[in-house]
Structure 1
């Protein structure tokens, strides 16, 4: 496996423009270590002058990474390799033509320190290609993070210092212009305990921020004129409001108008022009009647057109862009026609002169691939996971079905190759109040590769489908375990009615809130599931609420505290569990502590229920923090559990 891993990273070659023809036949499942492998490459980016291309590369299955730096004009030449000894490389950013800031981290504790306070420590260092040396940028009394480079000052970057006093209490961060050559710094903005959400322009000028008015319980949106010293209010929003008001960029050619993504009294979000001086909405630029917006799109050349808004993104069957800039749209369409299995395309990096680009693609038949466009030629740099081939992967279909109370539920179905009816895995997303648009999904593809159809329902409470759909999750306190659970079950019944799914071969697998849903599914009566797999699950609603109750109020309180208070708590339902269960949890989960699964398993013992429990040593909450060893402990058992131990005779 190690030999395969190391030779699949940089498979450079001329791109074949004809898309691959996928045969609709059954495929032999890949070995589990193919799915457990770390990203072979990521963070692929160009130096500002376009002369160098670098990426982070997996050096082993364990997730140890190095950085490789190539000459963009001669990718066949042996690269420069940068490694770390006692820490792990997490990523890097080019800050000059020959300089990059590299971030490192390592685990420093076996226990978490509280909600969203993990067991890892980070450092930053400046690396110079010219000297081939690192210069550590951190000191013991502060934590330094890179904000961004400065377009017009190639020897400077904007950094954020988070200070700690002798008692180790946190103080508001300050922002400095940092000289990469001398190591000196100049104060740009002094920390303020009352303000947050700072935005800076390409020259490092503080332009936008927020503060919270304790008297009126409102979030206050502020702006500052270039060269000014004071902050001016331009919008207020009550903490009880569920509406969106989100900065979207400067309107090109103006100094008084910005783009905002906002409901502005409507069910669906729209892109509006907003006047800072008059504090008023202007033109509605774009809005859809089916889905919300996923953000604005900026010009692909951030050097010559920093911050320029070129379109707006929305997600449905996949992410789409409504372009305002026709030249950007035409360029992206050309790349879409040239890149195999094109699905979600983006320019991940572009040279200052605009002539050299790195394109990234991902989608149901591409776990992620990078292409270099240089001197009119498009070449494959490599794949995030070169072991997985497009012809062996599965298509994803966007569907809608009607729930038992008449609500239209959107969903994604990953269809395995071969003929149905198939066994089905229901895989609800975490959150629960997030937006999910399924392109590449490693869990969904792994399950489909093993013959399972996968349903990812966008149950009520999922964002992206308007205010009414979102807020319908909070009726009767909280619909967790109630109508939100019905939405998932009704998707199963819909697929059974179509003849796609065998009604006697259905399971649920979820992580975080999805794990919560799996615990709920295990106790449903009558039960349509043969078994469940629950990862990092909220098992005790009261415990989770108390974990962050004092941090939330207003809409956030309704979203989290009131929702969990009003929803069914799995730990109170253990006596109703009636199907086999596999429970998985990370030992240093900082979002949903492992005590949830510990307490839940003890409650199952008390109720006389059988189950299996896998604790992943030193694993955090989110799936992208799971390393090779974690996955190789969990994935093979998940597959064997589904195949052999899920209900009578297995799935």
Structure 2
């Protein structure tokens, strides 16, 4: 059976282009939005749904295919005014579809998200939960075992700004409240495998803590398990309830250690088990559980991330299935992203530094067919190897990093230091569009996991507190120096490029004494620490936990120190880091006669999933031109 027709419509109309492996790809290859965003099969294995692009700008639709006849014309589901961003099978007949739309109202703009339920055969009307509420904002918590027509939603049903838990019928639209939120328990609801809400969280205004609650059963009282304080920051997170002992809950916690591990917490006794899983080098990730109806919630393993995400399996059958599939794709990161209840239909996703993403369909554990590539114009020969390394900071702290080697040129290479956003985040590089774009054009790229990055233990995380533009910045510079010492980076051709917190780092990088860089590129960067701290007020978590950690160099106060050329890029409707951060910085650059260029992306918000084809084309053109012709 051949499945090429599944992707033929995707390729037609996206771009008519062929480039040999030895040539430099046009920007379209990287700037076009993914041809396929998501693939999923129904639980009975009879239907396959795919979220795919119809143009270089996305314009996504859902195609629903019959597994028995994949070459037949699919059912196509789309929207005229709103953008489809995702879907999930709610049962074997219905899909839940997520939409979004950007609304611009005078000087304000905001994203509106909607959720609708539709028959997979395309027949009948779309069902919109709480249709009368134009601002309805809810979260799907869970399907319900034994009842394929009902789901659990988190939604403020009585409009008191406190979420509740609602049982919603996807067939007739009826709903009933199963749990009222209150001032103590006000969100973060977690159901057990039976659909009973048994964990939640709230904000304690008196102690300025985030309090986590659980109960041993639906009849038991809520027990406060943990208070998370900004004064004593630690990792603690409910994961899921144990099927084997329902009164116990899996938690991810540091529990007195540096690296977070996974434990079972006994809600009745308040005691922890021995550490079930943990590593010396990185934090544990989560529990891996069965999603099948027959053994829903059963533990299968523990996830973690070193160079890339991985699983320590406790279920030998699941491990055997995963390993047998991995043998089909050498040197690839392989995931079963969707599967039928009987495992006779499995959707497989592969990725690697040389594979931006490919989907396959495995049937009856024998027949394997390609469904399509995420970026069909990029071939393995166009991409570069990525290495996972570490080096020592000036004070001896170990700094992990990803290094993407250029696909052309000779050592020592022109080099770009590319710090991630957050800064409470970390890179997980399997395929990274920006570093591969730069490497394709001859640049060595290093992505340092500087102090303040998450995932490498509590000490590494906390070491970044109030070190913005100081030790955090030193960690990045040390990464460049490390590559220089190894003979890989040319000390006369060093640049820094980053987005969000990385953009902040590029602002700071443009004004350091004894500067090692020849230029920087600041994308959507924070320039004013006082301003960004003020914008954190709306989020309880960020206000109480992160804001006390943000101090150091405020670039807007020191523009006179800028001593190298700087390219500034920002979206004009950025809601996370308002565009004023870049506009004010550029105004000062202009006043002081500094060497700069400013590019403002019309209609672009902060995060990468709001950068469309026209934004990326303008952005990538400016970035490469700056590095090629201004920096080096």
1:127·1:133 contact (CA, 8 Å) conserved in 2?
Answer: yes
Contact persistence 1:371–1:379 (CA under 8 A): yes
1:143 corresponds to: 136
Question: How far apart, CA to CA, are the structure 2 residues paired with 1:482 and 1:236?
Answer: 31
Correspondence 1:32-47 to 2 at 5 A: 32-47=27-42
* Contact 1:536–1:586 (CA under 8 A) maintained in structure 2: yes
Alignment of 1:592-631 (within 5 A): 592-631=577-616
- Preserved contact between residue 525 and residue 577 of structure 2 (Cα < 8 Å): yes
Offset of residue 130 of structure 1? 4.4
Q: Are the structure 2 counterparts of residues 127 and 557 from structure 1 closer, same or farther at C-alpha, using a change threshold of 3 Å? A: closer
Residue in 2 that maps onto 1:494 = 482
The answer on whether the counterparts of 2:407 and 2:441 sit within 8 Å (CA) in structure 1 is: no
Give me the whole-angstrom Cα distance separating, in 2, the residues matched to 1:358 and 1:75: 14
Instruction: Tell me the number of residue pairs that the alignment of Structure 1 and Structure 2 aligns.
Output: 615
**Cα offset, 1:258, TM superposition:** 2.0
Aligned residue in 1 for 2:263: 272
In structure 1, the residue matched to 2:152 is: 158
Match of 1:174 in 2: 164
| Aligned equivalent of 1:187, options 157, 162, 177 | 177
* Matching of residue 351 in structure 1 with residue 340 in structure 2: yes
Q: Which segment is superposed worse, 274-283 or 152-161?
A: 152-161
Displacement, 1:383? 1.6
CA contact (8 A) 1:545 1:560 kept: no
| Distance verdict in 2 for CA 1:265–1:235, change over 3 Å | same
Please say if residues 216 and 267 of structure 2, whose CA atoms lie closer than 8 Å, have aligned partners that are also in contact.
no
The equivalent of 2:422 in structure 1 is 431
> Paired residue for 1:363?
352
Residue among 310, 314, 318 paired with 1:320:
310
**TM-score (norm. length: structure 2):** 0.92
Counterpart-to-counterpart distance in 1, 2:242 and 2:142: 21
Q: Return the alpha-carbon distance in structure 1 between the equivalents of residues 604 and 11 of structure 2.
A: 29
Q: Which residue of 1 aligns with 2:557?
A: 572
Match of 1:562 in 2: 548
Which of 579, 582, 591 lines up with 2:576 in the alignment? 591
User: CA separation of 1:89/1:176 partners in 2, compared to 1, >3 Å: closer, same or farther?
Assistant: same
Which of 320, 323, 328 in structure 2 is aligned with 1:330? 320
Alpha-carbon distance in structure 1 between the residues aligned to 2:405 and 2:122: 52
Tell me the SS of whatever aligns to 1:109.
strand
* Cα deviation digits, residues 571-608 of structure 1 (max 9, x gap): 12211112111111111111100010111111111222
| Residue matched to 1:88 | 83
CA distances 1:99-147 after superposition (whole Å, capped 9, x unpaired):
112122222215676xxxx612122222113462332314232515333
| SS of alignment partner, residue 515 of structure 1 | helix
Q: Separation in 1 of the partners of 2:578 and 2:267? A: 43
1:164 offset after TM fit, Å?
7.5
Q: CA deviation at 1:567?
A: 0.8
Contact 2:217 2:247 in 1 (8 A): no
Range that drifts further, 401-410 or 504-513: 401-410
Deviations 1:483-516 (A, max 9, x none): 1111111111111111111111111110000000
* Residues 10 and 381, structure 1, Cα contact 8 Å, conserved in 2: no
Q: Is it true that 1:637 corresponds to 2:622 in the alignment?
A: yes
Contact 1:270 1:288 in 2 (8 A): yes
Measure, in 2, the Cα distance between the counterparts of 1:557 and 1:129: 42
Could you tell me whether the CA contact under 8 Å between 1:26 and 1:417 is conserved in 2? Answer: no
| Structure 1, 194-203 or 215-224: larger mean CA deviation | 215-224
Deviations 1:63-85, CA, capped at 9 Å, x for gaps: 21111111112212221111211
What's the C-alpha RMSD, in Å, of the aligned pairs?
Answer: 2.4
C-alpha separation between the residues in 2 aligned to 1:161 and 1:558? 24
2:74 corresponds to which residue?
A: 79
The 5 A counterparts of 1:121-270 are 121-130=112-121, 132-137=123-128, 138-141=130-133, 143=136, 145=138, 146-163=140-157, 171-195=161-185, 196-228=187-219, 230-270=221-261
Partner of 1:17 in structure 2? Answer: none
CA distance in 1, matches of 2:106, 2:24: 37
Aligned positions of 1:294-313 closer than 5 A = 294-299=285-290, 301-313=291-303
Distance (whole Å) between structure 2 residues aligned to residue 355 and residue 573 of structure 1: 62
- Alignment TM-score, normalising by the size of structure 1: 0.90
Distance 1:27 1:416 in 2: 13
Partner-residue secondary structure (3-state), 1:561 = helix
Please state whether the residue corresponding to 1:294 is helix, strand or coil: strand
Determine if contact 2:243/2:297 at 8 Å carries over to the other structure. Answer: no
SS in 2 for 1:286: coil
1:56 is matched with which residue: 48, 51, 55? 51
Residue 17 (structure 2) aligns with: none
Task: Work out whether residues 112 and 588 of structure 1, in 8 Å CA contact, stay in contact via their aligned partners in 2.
Answer: no
For residue 151 of structure 1, report the CA deviation from its aligned partner: 3.2
Looking at structure 1, the residues matched to 300 and 132 of structure 2 have their Cα atoms a distance apart, in angstroms, of: 42
* 2:441 is the counterpart of 1:450: yes
Unaligned runs of 5+ in 1: 12-24
Q: Deviations over 1:381-403 (max 9, x none)?
A: 11211111122211110111122
Report the secondary structure of 1:49's partner residue.
coil
Contact persistence 2:6–2:71 (CA under 8 A): no
Q: 1:159 to 1:560 in 2, by over 3 A?
A: closer
Shift of 1:162: 3.3
2:461 corresponds to which of 470, 483, 486: 470
Q: d(CA) in 2 for partners of 1:413 and 1:400?
A: 10
Q: 1:459 aligns with which of 426, 450, 463?
A: 450
Distance 1:264 1:105 in 2: 39
Structure 1 position 546 matched with structure 2 position 534: yes
Q: 1:516 to 1:298 in 2, by over 3 A?
A: same
Shift of 1:622: 0.8
SS at match of 1:545: helix
Rounded to whole Å, the distance in 2 between the matches of 1:216 and 1:269 is 25
CA distance in 2, matches of 1:550, 1:252: 37
